[in-house]
Chain A
């Protein structure tokens, strides 16, 4: 009988080795080919390995059509990889789920619901108690400065406010991972920098993991703990660069960071990578 108890323990011992190497989020040889197996097959993403830890702010930057959105969609569960696997905390991703919140380039709000109902959509669908739902809506709408607009409809908000609501909607569900696909792409420069600061503040407060897609190198270098540079189609990862500025958020003003010599150097380094790839 003691032998019987010993068996599972021995089997379990082999696991931690690969588990430690896998990271919190792990892309394992993930590739995507649109229309695979047909004459019109378009390779979008070359087999890619990428892993990151809980609390990381990963920015993926690259030229248009480089497969960065494709990569994100495999983690969101919107797109099944042609080969390879995506996993979160060791569990393979098979579809969308509330543990992975998504913010789209265009807010994708529900125009028939009020601001408050949009923000509380996730908790309501998941059947959280009413008091808990209301508390979350109030907290997150206050966080993004939209509490006083709670009874309005999305079409009564400006573009920047709509995007803030989309972020609040994703965060009110308290996901482990926040996936953002060029969320600030349609905003003017001033609103954009304000949103970058606000996003940093929320990320620090919540300690969540963020995967952020952008084609702005400036934005990627400022926001990310890591900047992942991708090549042109079919996309592959050219380099992963650690960036120190995300950790400074809240201590130093955004303009001072972006005007600093170290920021400019890193930004130019990333730009050179992208340009070098584009020229070759």
Chain B
């Protein structure tokens, strides 16, 4: 029996999911847990179907998801691109590192909510503060990852390239940059996690759109069916984003770990 399960771990996963779903059904259908706190399975199904068919307060469900993805995409995209470029520069030039490191090190451990208020004061309540918040969440993580990637380059490969006649710029393009790609991707995965976690905070800034806002707003009206449907959607989006990055990582940095 144990050997059987060791060979088929998915059976254990499946059993675990079935067990939780069954416990949920029993707890809600018997009335042990009020459906104000936790909807029954068919209430959740109806709530989710209602969201899909009718949308929520002015936007279709796809509209909410699209706006959230746009914010994540812009914040993460800009933060990662600029952070990576900055980090590459910091890895190559100790002067640039000395210049930028204090701000990066200050920003990195700072909870995003700590400066959220300031962003609202500076940028108002439109899309700008939301995207800037996500941008600032992605930037330091990407910068540190790229800097470490440059510093982790094998000195022997650099010497080999110099012995083969490569100049400084060629060494950067053909040796340092590809060598740092592995760390850059690890940084990107870390940063998308942080950006995603910050999304809810970003959508708390006055506004009426986005999947994070949908969850917050539904919570205010005790619509636990909408809240849970929203959580499931946001989780699925998160998994899809991470898997997308893993896919890109395997295609681009195909040599890593081999």
Contacts and interface: CB of A to CB of B under 8 A. Distances in A.
Our verdict on whether A and B bind, yes or no, reads yes
Interface of A: 76-78, 95-98, 100-102, 104, 106, 108, 110-113, 121-122, 125-126, 153-155, 169-170, 173
Nearest to A103: B160
A120 to B, nearest CB: 10
B255 A112 contact: yes
B136 to A, nearest CB: 31
Contacts of A98: 163-165
B178 interface: yes
Contacts of B165: 97-98, 122, 125-126, 173
Interface stretch (B29-37, B137-145, B151-159): B151-159
Chain B contact residues, majority secondary structure = helix
Nearest to B159: A78
B164 A121 contact: yes
Interface stretch (B167-175, B192-200, B226-234): B167-175
B254 interface: yes
Given A104-B160, A125-B166, 5 more contacts: A77-B162, A95-B162, A101-B163, A169-B164, A173-B165
Chain A contact residues, majority secondary structure = loop
A110 B159 CA distance: 12
A162 to B, nearest CB: 12
A102 B160 contact: yes
Contact of B258 (A102, A106, A125, A155): A155
Contacts of B160: 102, 104, 108, 169
A102 B175 contact: no
B82 interface: no
Interface of B: 154, 156-157, 159-167, 170, 174-175, 178-179, 181, 253-255, 258
A97 B175 contact: no
Which of A77, A100, A111 gathers the greatest number of chain B CB atoms within 10 Å?
A111
Which of A76, A106, A125 gathers the greatest number of chain B CB atoms within 10 Å?
A125
Nearest to A106: B156
B164 A108 contact: no
A33 B182 CA distance: 36
